[in-house]
Structure 1
Amino acid sequence: MPKYLMLKHYRGAPAPTNDVPLDRWTPQEWTDHVRYMRDFAARLQDTGEFVAADAVAPEGTWVRFDGEGRPPVTDGPFAETKDLIAGWMMIDVDSHDRAVELAGELSAAPGAGGRPLGEWLELRPVMSEPPTVTE
């Protein structure tokens, strides 16, 4: 079965349909949003389609190999960026169509006022082993 990574983006364009800034959500709205995502993951655990998921903090570090020893490190991403990855979920499903169906459902997590957030989710297939070349 193919695996897919769903990336939850915030502050990105295009904006979600329920475009209330996250810092203006009430504690109950946050609770409802997180509960929806946990219930969604639990349902996928029951069907065997859930692999893993987590939220990620907005602060981070960029690291790269430069060939000189200790890799250079810079702060980032920064809050003023247009896009912020807020979380991810890995699913293991029968088809791309099923992955799209689940991403659409997760996009409906409640936001401000309990209305579906309608956020864009980035859906990416996990690469499988490259083909073996024999001569």
Structure 2
Amino acid sequence: ATASNVGVDLEYIRAQSEYADIARRFFSTAEVDYLSALPSHLYAEAFFSCWTKKEAYLKACGEGLAIPLNSFSVPLTTHPMDTPVDLYVASKDKVPATRWSLYTLRPAPGYAGALAIDGTGWRLRQWQWKMPQRVE
């Protein structure tokens, strides 16, 4: 097995009115423009799709919020894919420029998630775990 940096973020999608303000503060101009063009009923899911990708990437880098969220853009999609979207980020001196694979995750209804892993050519496999019936 090859050692690679991995980051995962999961968020519960909740309806709030402050998402546009949060996006303007923390997202890139391209991301804000994309979100602003969406119908209101799609906004929260798209917001969290963007947020989880950014958080997963920062976790994989190991730099946390030392890298400003608005200093890079992530590909915006809310549809899970079998293959990842590529992200090329040059983050000044914090993280060397490299290619990252970003996966959109749907862990459960009402949740958004993302997985970031450095490099390309990865295959993602997912399983759904079901809580066993409790026997008394």
TM-score, structure 2 length as denominator?
0.29
> Considering only CA atoms, is the larger Rg found in Structure 1 or Structure 2?
1
**Structure number with higher relative contact order (C-alpha < 8 Å, ≥ 6 residues apart):** 1
